[in-house]
Chain A
Amino acid sequence: MSTRRDLLTALIALAAAPGLGVVAAPFSDLDRDAVRRIGQAWRDSHPGATSRTLSARLFPTGRGPEALPALRAAVAADFRAGRLFVHRGWRLSDTEGALFALLAMEA
């Protein structure tokens, strides 16, 4: 079992991990069609979203090494607040939905 403090420590460790410096990189190997489908499903309920607004929401301080832990924290906060995006039954955080939408737009 872990506490929120453990989680924070893990997030800090994650931020320091090598190879995750640029946030786009970890997601570059995803199935593009699947990303498009999932991203589109999220956009269907967020028709006003643009790549600019999404980028500003997901990467407010740029896509440097700190971005992944920040995303991770946003995901956790979504789950805590019940801000969910449901795709084919999968309970995802709204942040993940937005991320798929942005990745689809940028693909």
Chain B
Amino acid sequence: MAIIDARTLPDASPLEADMVIIGGGLAGITLARELAGGPLKVIVLESGGLEIEPETQALYAGSCVQKADGAKDRPLDSYPAQSRIRALGGSGHVWGGKCGPLDPADFAERPWIPYSGWPVTRAQMQDYYDRACDLLEIDRFPLEWPTPTDQALQPLALDDEDGFFPAPRVFTRISGRTDKPAFDRFRTQFAEAPNITVYLYANVIRIRREGDVVTGLDVACLDGKRHTAKAARYVLATGGIENVRLLLASENLGNRHDLVGRFFQGHLTYSNDSDTQREGSTFAASRAAPLDLYATAQRFEPHCVIGAGLPAQKRMKTGNFTATLFRANFSNADATVGADTQTLAKTATKLDQGQEQSNLLGFFAMTEHFPNPDSRITLDPSQRDALGMPRVRLTWVHGRKDHEDLERSIDGLANALGASGEGRLCWSLRRDELLAVSSASRHHMGTTRMHRDPRQGVVDSNGRLHEARNLYVAGSSVFPTSGIVNPTLTILALTLRLADHLKSEKKAA
């Protein structure tokens, strides 16, 4: 119906609908798009305006420290504000658009990983992944990825028993950074439907409830106006950090079992450059042919990473792991380091494939961040934003198991490459250096985890809060485990699943 600036409404306006979606990021918009043109009257309450504005963005400010076993704490206080965008479209304004589905292993309960297992399987997600791909205008990801026929795109011939496989990644243009007009259509066109109203500059600051029913929302604008919103059902879609903030700030809503905000999972990327003593993170491929499937000539082209499937994880007792290969120029400050690398690579190639020419590539490693109740978001009541909301405090913890897992996965891949005659891996990082050299993704997962059992999850398998029968949560906060792929395609797939559920629930009612 419209996109309305909530600041232009008379003070204390009562907003009413069948459903209120809190947050107009990629998750909230995906849900609204699904409901557009349908029988339900839907309101989207979005904190920001159409574009990024510093005053609104400042509402995200908080504090963050990363902790890892045996390493010095790393303060990252700018992280909460810099890792997401508060405007219609959310972090879609700046995201890289990299997409891939979670692997079947990510959904599985893996006894060696505490808290693992989703209440849904990869196969059950296929239709939703397909629809999410269609929305993002990218090719679909079939459950079995076909082997390319092009010679330059042949996957590494790793032994099946090792369980490593090429995991595809593609990029969508639906991003403010890639194709602004396409992104603008994605985030605004749905509001033309007669049943949809989007309110901008409308910050939800409190969720009110009576017993197990949410009864309304307090809405605040930065200019001082206050409104209320009321609906039969509500969907919280404010992102993996803010979902927690709003629940905790609403008298601990959903937190009966002290789970809200715990299990924060964020992906870290690990690699290093060479120095005078050691080579950096390097892969010497024993085949002379370029590995175009993995290391494309241009960034943002479809490619594969080397992933650790369930057999690999089972064998190594690890979680998910990927190595992303890239083309790089190798030059070392100390010529002997480079000479050793060339010599090792050449010898390996001769041994492995009887060839002369090896192929040096850089790589970075990522491992699944294991669910850990101590890795968590809490509120800091002494620090408040311009609307009086307590700011977040993120304590991002990587335990000993996370780093052991990384090292075991690196060794496992190195062994698989060597045993199959496909190459050698160089990994020279010590345990105590890992946190310092890692770079933090902007993926915020796990903080309102999905589980059938209310003592083990904040939301049920449909995304409904265990503690409130008319409040649902959308976004990566519901992921029980983090996998290793970028999360947004899965956010969209789960949101489409939620949309179907909400529609069927309506029909049943």
Chain A positions near chain B (C-beta within 8 angstroms): 1-4, 6-7, 10, 14, 17, 20, 26-27, 30-31, 33-35, 37-38, 68, 71-72, 75-76, 78-80, 82, 84, 87-93, 96, 99-100
Contact = CB atoms under 8 A, between A and B. Distances in A.
Contact of A90 (B339, B341, B416, B419): B341
B419 A89 contact: no
B344 to A, nearest CB: 5
A76 B158 CA distance: 12
A91 B279 CA distance: 11
A27 B425 CA distance: 21
B151 interface: no
B351 A7 contact: no
Query: How would you classify the secondary structure of chain A's contact residues: helix, strand, loop or mixed?
Result: helix
A72 B350 CA distance: 9
17 contacts: A1-B158, A7-B159, A33-B336, A34-B342, A38-B344, A76-B419, A79-B416, A79-B419, A84-B411, A88-B278, A89-B426, A89-B427, A89-B428, A91-B418, A92-B344, A93-B418, A96-B344
A17 B426 CA distance: 29
B279 A88 contact: yes
Given A68-B351, A91-B425, A4 B159 contact: yes
Contacts of B487: none
B159 A3 contact: yes
Given A72-B352, A80-B415, A31 B424 contact: no
B317 to A, nearest CB: 14
B354 A20 contact: yes
A96 B351 contact: yes
B76 to A, nearest CB: 27
B411 A75 contact: no
B340 A37 contact: yes
Contact of A1 (B160, B278, B346, B427): B160
A93 B160 CA distance: 20
Contacts of A14: 353-354
A30 B346 contact: yes
Contacts of B441: none
Contacts of B426: 88-91
A10 B354 CA distance: 10
B419 A80 contact: yes
A26 to B, nearest CB: 5
Contact of B340 (A4, A38, A79): A38
A38 B348 CA distance: 13
A86 to B, nearest CB: 9
B263 to A, nearest CB: 33
Contacts of A88: 277-279, 337, 340-341, 426, 428
A68 B421 CA distance: 13
Interface in B392-417: 411, 414-416
